[in-house]
Every structure is written in structure tokens, then in C-alpha cells.
Amino acid sequence: MTNSPSQPIRVMLVDDHAMVRRGLATFLMVFDDFKLVGEAENGEIAIQRCAEVLPDVILMDMVMPGLDGATATRAIRQQFPQVQVIALTSFKEGKLIKSALEAGAIGYLLKDVAADDLAWAIRAAHSGRATLSPEAAQVLVETANQPPAPGLDLTEREREVLLLMVEGLNNTQIAGKLTVSSSTIKSHVSNILSKLGVTSRTEAVTLALRQGLVA
């Protein structure tokens, strides 16, 4: 419990599971400074309902059929920038966390969060302060510390050469196809191997196919 402000924080729930929404609704009733003003079972309805009830804070599931949570969050934040969104989900994949935060979510919590921690996060979001679950924060740190995927720094010409390598052409054939000298192609191939961190054409081709570096 907390001392009730002059106006309770208006909260909306978005989750495709009715039992989850029911549990969260019961949780909100415990605190006298929260008021449940709306529910939605998917992203499309969330956007419509948000326009109708204008909540202060939305607890948004990320993985839902139809419009997902990140897309709904982005649309809501663009239309109603005063509405804060907390991603509340069972998933802690780096890509999901990143997409939620990039969409404008102010928090990212897992559904096993303690009631007091969730209450604190809602109040923090209402005040414009971000909250990340420890697990989400750890994933973001690990993601930030990962080296960039190989091949991102290839030039357009190097990608062309790599594609022809994948097709099985040798340096002379690639040179003829691109109407440049064999020595130029040899230089490109050397740069490709270096940038991909491999030592042979076979490794380069294997990595290119595995990483989807060529279309």
C-alpha cells in the first residue's frame, strides 16, 4: 500500500491470456493508488482502447497473435506520447527487449516479477522513470558486449565478389564477370577473408551462407 495521490494512476492491461489479465486486475485492486481503466487482448484492440480511456500506464504483453506488443507500443507512443508503456512478458530474448525499448517502452519486466516491484515500476513509469528487470538488464549488457556479426563491414563490391565466390567462380572468372583485373579481385578476396575472420575461400563461402550475407 502507499499513500493515495489526489488521482490514482490509471492503468490498462494488454495480454492475450484472460487469466493473466484477471491476475493483474486483482493485483491492481490491492493498491489504492492504482485504477484499472481498460483491458485488451491484442495490439489492435490496445490502440483503440487506449484512445478511449487514455491510461497513464499500460502493462503490455510483447508476444500476442496479430499485432505484437512492440508494434502496438510504437503506435500508442506516437499517438499518445503522454502514455507510458511497461513491457510485461515471459520472454527475455535480447531482440525482444531491444524492440520493446526502441518502440518506446519505458520498462521491461518479466511476468514472475514480485507484486511490490511491479507496483514500484508502475509508479516509476508514471513519473517518467525507466525500470528494467535484472534479467533484461543482464541480457542487454551481454548483447552490447558481443562482437558485431562478421561481414557487416563488407563493401558493396566485396559483397558482389563474395556472391560470385558462393556461386563457385574462381578469381579469373570473377574478374571477367566484373570486368576488372585478376589482381583487383585477388585484393578483394583478401579483404573479404580478413573481414570475415577466415583463412580460406571455402570458409568464407560457408560463413556467407550460414550468416545470410549474400542473397
Buried b (16+ CB within 10 A) or exposed e, 173-187: ebbeebeeeeeebee
pLDDT at 168: 93
pLDDT at 36: 98
pLDDT at 2: 46
| Regions in the chain scoring below 50 on pLDDT | 1-4
Nearest in space to 19 (alpha carbons), one of 79, 61, 68: 61
Query: What number of other Cβ atoms are within 10 A of residue 65's Cβ?
Result: 9
Give just the sign of the alpha carbon dihedral 98, 17, 135, 92: negative
Nearest in space to 43 (alpha carbons), one of 26, 24, 57, 58: 58
Helix segments in the chain, DSSP class H: 18-30, 43-53, 69-79, 94-103, 115-126, 134-145, 156-166, 171-178, 182-196, 201-211
pLDDT at 142: 78
CA–CA distances in Å: residue 209 to residues 31, 135, 204: 54, 32, 9
Does pTM top 0.85 for this prediction? no
Buried b (16+ CB within 10 A) or exposed e, 89-98: bebeeeebbb
pLDDT at 139: 84
Cα angle 48-49-53, degrees, rounded to a multiple of 5: 130
- The type of residue at 202 is T
Using one digit for the tens of pLDDT, what is the confidence trace for 142-197?
777 766 667 778 899 999 999 999 999 999 999 999 999 999 999 999 999 999 98
pLDDT at 4: 47
Cα angle 33-3-134, degrees, rounded to a multiple of 5: 70
Which residues neighbour 191 within 8 Å (Cβ) at sequence distance 6 or greater?
158
pLDDT at 147: 64
